[in-house]
């Protein structure tokens, strides 16, 4: 079984955010990017499957501009066998555009199992994985927290509301979106980092098609009005507060 893991480059969570006038989207003020946290859990699940003998290869793909290759190299350093990038522009990436790119990468690699994070830390759309499954005409399961190989297929545990879980059996080809779980994504080893720096990353052209969403104008929220301090005795403050509330129609 060949596994394809979708990894997205998102602003480093420790970086302050800023609106970019060039792209019209939110970017890290210091220019630091990172791998989407739930995609790291998806990659770890794929590596565990490979170590258990249930997967032959693990490939990583990212849809984005050239800078997104850094997150693919991060996946290679964590243990992925090969990496690729599907071209996309800077700024907001439509979930359907991302899904088209992931579906193309799945076809190119002959992936039997596609793993995605349940959602990304920036857009938090949560629909890219299911959209890719629809384009590939494959069954999909969302919110998976555990994957166990079986003699035929996979046993998965899906997280539900109110602390409940659902046990399912999945027969690949399929698409799973991964939620955070008890396993911890591994740190890159030195040998894998050295290999990742030398590894060539295949670049696929952007998939055509009409966008489903577009980003409108983004702007900084207006500063809040200055506060007002009431002075006097407790009774005087209460009377002044009641007068202010009455004039604003709140009493």
Q: Tell me the CATH number at 71.
A: 3.40.50.620
Whether residue 218 is contained in a domain is answered as no
Whether residue 84 is contained in a domain is answered as yes
Reply yes or no on whether the pLDDT at 181 is more than 90.
Answer: no
Q: What is the pLDDT of residue 112?
A: 95
Number of domains in the chain: 1
pTM for the whole structure = 0.84
Whether residue 229 is contained in a domain is answered as no
Neighbours of 239 (CB within 10 A): 13
Reply yes or no on whether the pLDDT at 207 is more than 90.
Answer: no
- State which residues form the domain around 106: 2-204
Q: What is the pLDDT of residue 70?
A: 96
Instruction: DSSP for the chain, please give it.
Output: -EEEEE--EEE-TTSPEEE-TTTSSEEETT--EEE-HHHHHHHHHHHHHHHTTS-SEEEEEEEESGGGHHHHHHHHHHT-SEEEEEE--SS---HHHHHHHHHHHHHHHT-SEEEEESS-SSS----HHHHHHHHHT--EEEEEEEEEE-SSSEEEEEE-GGG-EEEEEE-SSEEEEE---SS-PPPPPHHHHHHHHH---EEEPPP-S--S-------PPPPPPPP----S-HHHHHHHHHHHHHHTT--
Whether residue 228 is contained in a domain is answered as no
Reply yes or no on whether the pLDDT at 217 is more than 80.
Answer: no
Nearby residues of 198 by Cβ (< 8 Å), 6 or more positions away: none
Average pLDDT (192-205) is 93
Structure tokens given for 192 = 């894998």
Whether residue 85 is contained in a domain is answered as yes
Reply yes or no on whether the pLDDT at 242 is more than 90.
Answer: yes
Q: Which residue has the higher pLDDT, 31 or 68?
A: 68
Q: What is the Cα–Cα distance from 45 to 47, expressed in whole angstroms?
A: 6
> How does residue 31 score in pLDDT terms, banded at 50, 70 and 90?
confident
Q: What is the pLDDT of residue 239?
A: 92
Q: What is the Cα–Cα distance from 21 to 153, expressed in whole angstroms?
A: 48
Q: What is the pLDDT of residue 111?
A: 96
The rounded mean pLDDT for the chain is 91
pLDDT digits (tens, 9 = 90+) for 142-154: 999 999 998 888 9
Average pLDDT (185-195) is 92
| Cis previous bond, 191, omega within 30 | no
Reply yes or no on whether the pLDDT at 214 is more than 80.
Answer: no
Measured in whole angstroms, the distance separating CA 219 from the mean position of its chain's CA atoms is 23
> How does residue 22 score in pLDDT terms, banded at 50, 70 and 90?
confident
pLDDT digits (tens, 9 = 90+) for 97-108: 999 999 999 999
Whether residue 147 is contained in a domain is answered as yes
Whether residue 215 is contained in a domain is answered as no
Whether residue 246 is contained in a domain is answered as no
Q: What is the pLDDT of residue 216?
A: 73
């Amino acid at each position: 079984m060949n596994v394809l893991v979708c990894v997205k480059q998102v602003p480093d969570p420790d970086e302050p955010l800023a609106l970019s006038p060039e792209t019209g989207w939110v970017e890290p003020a210091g220019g630091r990017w990172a791998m989407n946290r739930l995609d790291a859990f998806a990659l770890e699940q794929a590596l565990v499957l490979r170590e258990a003998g249930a997967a032959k290869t693990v490939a990583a793909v990212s849809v984005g501009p050239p800078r997104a290759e850094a997150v693919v190299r991060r996946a290679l350093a964590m243990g992925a066998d090969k990496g690729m990038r599907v071209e996309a522009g800077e700024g907001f990436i439509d979930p359907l555009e991302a899904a088209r790119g992931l579906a193309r990468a799945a076809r190119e690699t002959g992936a039997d199992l596609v793993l995605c994070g349940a959602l990304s830390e920036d857009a938090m759309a949560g629909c890219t994985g299911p959209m890719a499954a629809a384009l590939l005409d494959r069954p999909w399961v969302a919110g998976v927290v555990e994957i166990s190989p079986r003699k035929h297929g996979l046993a998965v545990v899906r997280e539900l509301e109110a602390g409940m879980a659902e046990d399912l059996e999945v027969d690949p080809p399929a698409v799973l979106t991964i939620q955070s779980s008890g396993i911890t994504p591994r740190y890159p080893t030195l040998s894998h980092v050295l290999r990742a720096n030398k590894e060539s990353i295949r670049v696929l052209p952007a998939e055509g098609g009409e966008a489903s969403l577009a980003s409108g104008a983004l702007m900084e929220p207006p500063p809040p009005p200055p506060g007002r301090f009431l002075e006097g005795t407790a009774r005087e403050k209460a009377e002044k507060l009641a007068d202010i509330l009455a004039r604003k129609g709140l009493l």
